[in-house]
Amino acid sequence: MKKWCIWAALLLLTGSAAGAGAQPPGIDVPRLMENAATAGLPAQARRAFDLTVDEAIERALDRNLDIAVERVNPQLQDLTIAESRSAFLPSVSSNFDLGRSMSPSRSQLDGAGRLSRRTVETESGNAGFGLEQALGWNGGRYTLDWTNARTETNNVFFSFNPSFSSNVALSYTQPILRGRSIDPQRRQLLVSQLNRDISDVDLRETIANTLADVRRAYWDLVYARASVDVQRQALELAEQLVRENRIRVEVGTLAPIEVVQARSEAAARRQTLAEAEQQMRTAELALKQLIVSGTDDELWGADINAVDQPLLDQAPIDVDTAIRTALDARTDIERSRRQQDINTVTLRNLANATLPALDLVGSFRLQGQGGTQLISSALGGPALITVPGGYGDALAHIAQLEYPVWNVQLQLSYPLGHSAQKAAHARARLQVQQTRAQIEQIELQIATEVTNAALQIESIRERIDAARVARALAAGPLAPAGRKLEVGPSPNVFVVPAQRDLATARDTELRAILDYQNAVIEFERVQQTSLSRAGISIVGGGLGP
């Protein structure tokens, strides 16, 4: 009776093995990936966090530390621009001083007066204000000075005592050749503005590369979870074979060595499952690193449940349009063009520095005098008439333009021989020609990368089709192998290789689908940016005027 029960159990198990092993050729791999994505991890008290691709991208834009670091650089460049512009801001100066001097009188011409008075005493006060500014549009520079003085003394030769004087002077220097169109200060400002544009390009590049990394890491995690599910199913089939072989050994239809072989295969599947779970954890950690703000982020200690599934787009690829898009918008070519603009500005400055320094200098000054006027009959004699006055008289003279002084001059300087400026300009001109060739090289590299990325997509599409056929064919032998168990041959000879081939075919198809997602991501990325911050050589500033 016991023997008949064992045979009945054996028949039931062989029937279930045949049903489980003979998966239909149309196995739904996306459904398998979806089941793996939503499956919980074994017995861990960690909160699961459902996450879509769009949510991962949004988190990266908000929390990725590389992007946060790069966002500071445009602000730093804004400060550099402000620093460069400060060279063209007006500068105000002022001075104020009081003083008193006592000098011994050595002759009557010292103005001490009586012979008994041998000391010339003078009290003075000065106040001045100045304004100076370099103009950013034509290289000119102006200075405006307003000086005031008060002097009170016992010197008898003074006609005003106390005396007030005021002067307003305006001076303007205009370069005619060197320094008129550009100078080192304006070059620095233009370069700072171009570097600000480059920092924006660098930020776009960091964002594009980071988001591509996020998408790749997301699909890596989806693949890793699906791979865990595939290996778990393979382990279940291997353990089921162990149980069946033990029953056959008990009824005497199978040699004990078959159990050992089945257990060996189950152990190998268990090891493969452990490796797949480790790869899944590594993929999850790689994704977290891109989308969390730190270890205190809520997502850091949670299990990420990647809920989106990959889509296979069979639309044709327009390579020519993609190349044009990349040549117009890719960050490396845009950076190179901005760097070429910097080189052009530097070349202009070096060319201007080779010109003679010819400056037109003009000045205009107004003077005013006031105070108590002393009118005497003779030089050094006592004052006969005292005319009251003060500081307002000096200002009135200025307002009425009573004592103008003007001056115009040309200043010329020119170095003889082959100057350092000419050598720097010749070197920069050659470097600019070299950078043009570098830009053409980058354009060719861009076209090559875009074309290669498109070819990768087409190739992987063919791989996916082939992998689907291989997986369907690998599932077929399990049905005949299951039926062979009923007629007596060793099941390990048929079932173990068939199970191994099916697991490999499933994993190969999953790998091809993941490679397709990565190829699409790469195709989109190469139209926006490059992995390295490619650019061209920057011409040195050389010697300025």
Residue 157's CB is within 10 A of a number of other CB atoms, namely 14
Banded model confidence at residue 502, pLDDT cuts 50, 70, 90: confident
Per-residue confidence (pLDDT) for residue 93, from 0 to 100 = 96
Instruction: Give the DSSP letter string of 16-85.
Output: HHHHHH---TT--HHHHHHHHHHPPPTT----EEEE-HHHHHHHHHHH-HHHHHHHHHHHHHHHHHHHHH
Model pLDDT, residue 373: 75
Q: 365 and 169 in contact (C-beta within 8 Å)?
A: yes
Q: Name the more confident of 213 and 386.
A: 213
| pLDDT tens-digit series, residues 513-529 | 989 999 999 999 999 87
Q: Which structural domains are found in the chain, ordered by start?
A: 2-79+187-344+427-526 (1.20.1600.10), 91-134+140-178+358-413 (no CATH)
CA angle (119, 97, 156) in 5-degree steps: 30
Across the range 243-250, mean pLDDT stands at: 89
Contact 81, 112 (CB under 8 A): no
Q: What pLDDT sits at residue 85?
A: 94
Which pLDDT band, with edges at 50, 70 and 90, does 485 fall under? very low
Sign of the CA dihedral running 150, 154, 156, 161 = positive
Residue 142: what pLDDT?
A: 97
> What pLDDT sits at residue 477?
64
Contact criterion met (CB below 8 Å) for 241 and 267 = no
CA-to-CA dists, residue 207 to 66, 327, 333, angstroms? 9, 19, 17
Question: What pLDDT score does 381 carry?
Answer: 57
Residue 26 has a pLDDT of 40
**What pLDDT is attached to residue 382?**
66
DSSP category for residue 317: P
What confidence score (pLDDT) does residue 522 get?
Answer: 92
Residues 14-61 have pLDDT tens digits of 333 333 333 333 445 455 445 544 444 444 457 889 999 999 999 999
Contact 476, 22 (CB under 8 A): yes
pLDDT recorded at residue 43: 40
Backbone φ, ψ for residue 247 (5° rounding)? -65, -40
Give the strand pairing for 141-153 and 119-134: antiparallel
User: At residue 277, does pLDDT exceed 90?
Assistant: yes
Q: What is the pLDDT of residue 389?
A: 82
pLDDT band at 175 (very low <50, low <70, confident <90, very high): very high
Average pLDDT over residues 497-516: 84
Q: Report the percent of the chain where pLDDT is more than 90.
A: 51
Tell me if residue 88 falls in helix, strand or coil.
helix
First and final C-alpha spacing in the chain: 112
Count of C-beta atoms within a 10 Å radius of residue 213: 19
pLDDT above 70 covers a percentage of the chain that reads 81
User: What's residue 422's pLDDT?
Assistant: 84
Window from 113-122, 238-247, 351-360 with minimum mean pLDDT: 113-122
207-236 pLDDT tens trace: 999 999 999 999 999 999 998 998 898 899
Query: At residue 276, does pLDDT exceed 80?
Result: yes
pLDDT tier, 537 (very low <50, low <70, confident <90, very high otherwise)? low
Mean pLDDT of all residues in 436-450: 92
Does pLDDT of 11 surpass 50? no
Tell me what pLDDT residue 189 has. Answer: 95
What pLDDT was estimated at residue 320? 94
**Distance separating alpha carbons of residues 195 and 342, to the nearest angstrom:** 8
What is residue 293's DSSP assignment? S
pLDDT at 359 over 90: yes
Mean pLDDT of 315-330: 91
Q: What is the mean pLDDT of the chain?
A: 82
Query: Does the pLDDT value for residue 510 go beyond 50?
Result: yes
Q: Name the residue with higher pLDDT: 357 or 120.
A: 357
Please state, in angstroms and rounded to a whole number, the distance separating the CA atoms of residues 10 and 240: 12
Rg (CA), the chain: 45
Is the pLDDT assigned to residue 478 strictly greater than 70?
no
Q: For 6-10, 33-37, 81-85, 181-185, which range has the lowest pLDDT when averaged over its residues? A: 6-10
Which whole-number Å values give the CA distances from 519 to 313, 317, 516, 544, in the listed order?
A: 12, 12, 5, 50
Beta 383-387 vs 48-51: how paired, if at all?
A: unpaired
pLDDT score at 40: 42
Average pLDDT over residues 158-185: 92
Is the Cβ–Cβ distance between 67 and 210 less than 8 Å?
A: yes
Question: Measured between alpha carbons, how far is 53 from 67 in angstroms, rounded to an integer?
Answer: 18
DSSP E strands in 377-440: the ranges are 383-387, 404-413
Among 23-37, 414-428, 450-464, which is the least confidently predicted range?
A: 23-37
- Band the pLDDT of 147: cuts 50, 70, 90: very high
CB count within 10 Å of CB 413 equals 9
Phi/psi zone of residue 273: left (φ > 0), alpha (ψ -120 to 50 degrees), beta? alpha
pLDDT band (50, 70, 90) for residue 310:
confident
114 pLDDT tier (thresholds 50, 70, 90) = low
Reply yes or no on whether the pLDDT at 115 is more than 70: no
Beta bridge partners of residue 305, listed in sequence order: 50
Check whether 293 has a pLDDT greater than 50.
yes
